[in-house]
Structure 1
Amino acid sequence: MIEVSRQIPINEPGQPVLTRSDVWQGLVMKADNALPFVPAMTHCEVKSREGKNVLVREIEFRGERCHERVTLTPEQQVEFVRLDGSVLGTILNNIEEDEDGLGLRFSFKLTLAGEKDGSPAEKAYGETVEKDYLKAVDATLAAIRRLKGDRDALLKRYYETVDSMDMPAFKAMHTDNCKVFFANFPAAEGPEQIAGAIGQFWSTIGGLSHTIVNRWDHQNETVLELAVDYTRLDGSHVVLPCVSIVKPAGDKVAELRVFIDVAPIYAPAAAEAEPAE
């Protein structure tokens, strides 16, 4: 049996910092389609799903096609069990954390058909597979960093555009079928409806500025806790708490849900207290 276990540090100096959630998103995407993450794999297709966290996929690795059952333990582990082919066994991807920070451990216990334990052929195959998986871990972390960087750039550009109240630029940042749900206003779909709805809202304020308080990234969306500083038409300000859910699609937004109570914007600014008689 070929047994290997190696941990790779996730946050090396000089690299964008990844959270456990960031890494987990990447592992989920790799489970669905490993081709962007595993250089030695040339085919990957999900054949069936068993609930939310188990799938069976067909892969081609080093020229051989086989099937794997993939089991996801959220934020912790992905297990790959080979179901057929000349190499059987289990491969694990684990997110670990210790005093040195986050690490991504890959482990495998594999048997090579027709070879005795410890044979030269088995040892040679094990060395080759270990190199392949080291490359796969590096490629996986690099892909996750790219994805996080792309999302960082999109969110930064999106809220800079909103805060500038630049309507042409704002319209251009939404997909053709984008949906926006803002406060308790009717949903708007498509850039024209979105521009009309948000433009009408912008006409009732003097300006706005978003500050991100907390952020939670998931595979297909980002949840933001925001503090929004609104400038009223009379020049006074009110800062309101807000939660937004953003679903990216490449360099555009495919859906936006904004949970906020905008009533305080239109309440009279608090008057200075009258001195006691």
Structure 2
Amino acid sequence: MVTLHIAYTEPVNGNDSDGLILTREDVWNGLKLKARRPEVFIPSFDNSRVIEERENGNVIIREAHVAADLHESPMAGKWVREECRLHEPIGIYFTLPGGSIVQNIISEGPNKSLFLTFTYDWNLPDIEPGTPEAKKAESDHMKIAVSSVQGTIRALRRMATEKSDCS
């Protein structure tokens, strides 16, 4: 079995010329929605359902459907049950079947700039360390990490734009 340890970070307010500046509250509110409706944010999910909420909504058990055309994932076309633990205001920790862990972290850098980091500890029981399959899995899962962070930031920015258009 191989466990992949992957992290990817992007600035929330990048060098966009649109002038829209997201706040920590904007990002946190988006991540709370992402725990309930991941398909709005993550290209690799195409459906979801909340099974249970506990501890005033700080623990969410959900099922998310991995898109069938996500060839990078061994879970393509399957439903995955996840436990989501919200830790306001910094992030959400997701526990997946088989003990894999995903974290969505909001952090602050110089000049109070915001960053969004997703970390992954993916357990892949059918892959042996050091094999070509392990190298390919690492590359494939990094692509998933990049698209997940970028998709989340795009969705957060789109939601903020729609919100300001309604004001």
The answer to whether the aligner puts 1:139 opposite 2:151 as a matched pair is yes
Cα distance in 2, alignment partners of residues 146 and 42 from structure 1: 18
The answer to whether the aligner puts 1:121 opposite 2:133 as a matched pair is yes
Q: CA deviation at 1:112?
A: 0.5
Equivalence for 2:106: 95
Equivalence for 2:8: 6
Question: Cα RMSD (Å) of the superposition?
Answer: 1.5
> Unpaired runs of 5+ in structure 1?
156-277
Of the two, which has the highest radius of gyration? Answer: 1
Cα distance in 1, alignment partners of residues 38 and 114 from structure 2: 22
Q: CA deviation at 1:40?
A: 1.3
Aligned residue pairs: how many?
A: 152
Equivalence for 1:158: none
- Structure with the largest fraction of helix: 2
- SS state of the match for residue 116, structure 1? coil
- SS state of the match for residue 39, structure 1? coil
Match of 2:36 among 32, 38, 42: 32
Question: 2:100·2:122 contact (CA, 8 Å) conserved in 1?
Answer: yes
Equivalence for 1:46: 50
> Unpaired runs of 5+ in structure 2?
67-75
Match of 2:79 among 65, 69, 72: 65
- SS state of the match for residue 2, structure 1? strand
Moved over 3 A (4+): none
- Structure with the largest fraction of strand: 1
Q: CA deviation at 1:102?
A: 0.8
- Identical amino acids, percent of aligned pairs: 26
Question: 1:2·1:123 contact (CA, 8 Å) conserved in 2?
Answer: no
Q: Deviations over 1:70-100 (max 9, x none)?
A: 000112011111035xxx4100010000116
The answer to whether the aligner puts 1:154 opposite 2:153 as a matched pair is no
Cα distance in 2, alignment partners of residues 59 and 154 from structure 1: 30
